[in-house]
Amino acid sequence: MSENFNHNIFEIARYNLNMRLRPNQIYDFRGAFIDMAVRSNKVTDDDISLLANRSYQNGIWGKSLNHYPYIQYRIDGSNVEVCGMGTGIKVIEKMINKKILESYTFQDRHIPLYIDKSQKQSLVIFKNVPVEYFLFHYIPYDETDDHEYHSKSNIIDKIGILEKTISNGIKYALKAFDIEIENIDVEIIDIITKDKAKYKTKDINDKEVKLTMNSYFIKMRSSIQNLDQLSIGKHKSLGYGVIRQVI
């Protein structure tokens, strides 16, 4: 795609649910949501793979899928939000239409899920007019690949590393929707907070572990327009690294 060519690249649909949770409960919510889909017998193995971003076939789980998660689980305000992107939207809408959400069970409690509100938007990506964004709870590195950042002796160099990492994250997200842009300018305006993100995940042996990593709340400027609601960095499917345009 030409870098100056305007093109409707994909849709994002957000489904705000009637369930209030804390951010550290999203991992458990997601697991129960996927289990609900499996138990329903009303969706395909491919649908379940998209819900989990992990291969699933004939009742057997395989490896994590090495691509951008097309279904993500977030907190909007204090309510749970399931966000579908591209092909992920059809899976969520199938579950809504087949009334699968009404059988949701969380921590041994039956809690029927309903859509409080939904929003669908078509994103048009183009560049050359700088836009300001907030980047929420961004985890740029896992526990093993942050040496370049920590090797820098001053904050200016460290910010340069973060800008490069953010740029690469945006490239990766756009490439998932068949958009390739060679040069993505990112300028960090402010690191509003730096915190510790506590989350659950699974190790290479499929065992649940709890990790704590550096998380950033950043205000930034980019030459790419309409990145609103995309997510970048580690653990995107659990609500980390969401980009929202400054209004």
Residue 2 lies in a domain: no
Same domain as 144, residue 47: no
Give me the pLDDT at residue 106, please: 95
* pLDDT at residue 1, rounded to an integer: 40
The pLDDT, as a whole number, for residue 185 is 92
Does some domain include residue 230? yes
Same-domain status, 95 and 130:
no
| Angle formed at CA 43 by CA 37 and CA 44, multiple of 5 degrees | 120
Q: Which residues of the chain have pLDDT under 70?
A: 1-8, 142-147, 149-150, 203-204
> Helix 45-52 vs helix 88-97: angle between axes, to the nearest 10 degrees?
110
Which pLDDT belongs to residue 98? Answer: 97
Domain final residue, candidates 121, 149, 169: 121
For tokens 């345009």, the residue is 245
Same domain, residue pair 66 and 130: no
Residue 48, domain extent:
9-121
- 173-178's contacts with Cβ under 8 Å and 24+ in sequence apart are 173/68, 173/230, 173/231, 173/232, 174/9, 174/125, 174/224, 174/230, 175/68, 176/67, 176/68, 176/70, 176/86, 177/9, 177/10, 177/85, 177/86, 178/1, 178/9
* Confidence at residue 2, expressed as pLDDT on a 0 to 100 scale: 41
Q: Do residue 91 and residue 183 come from a single domain?
A: no
The DSSP symbol for 79 reads: E
pLDDT at residue 143, as a whole number: 58
Q: What is the pLDDT of residue 142?
A: 66
78 and 133 inside one domain: no
pLDDT at 7: 53
Determine, yes or no, domain membership for 3: no
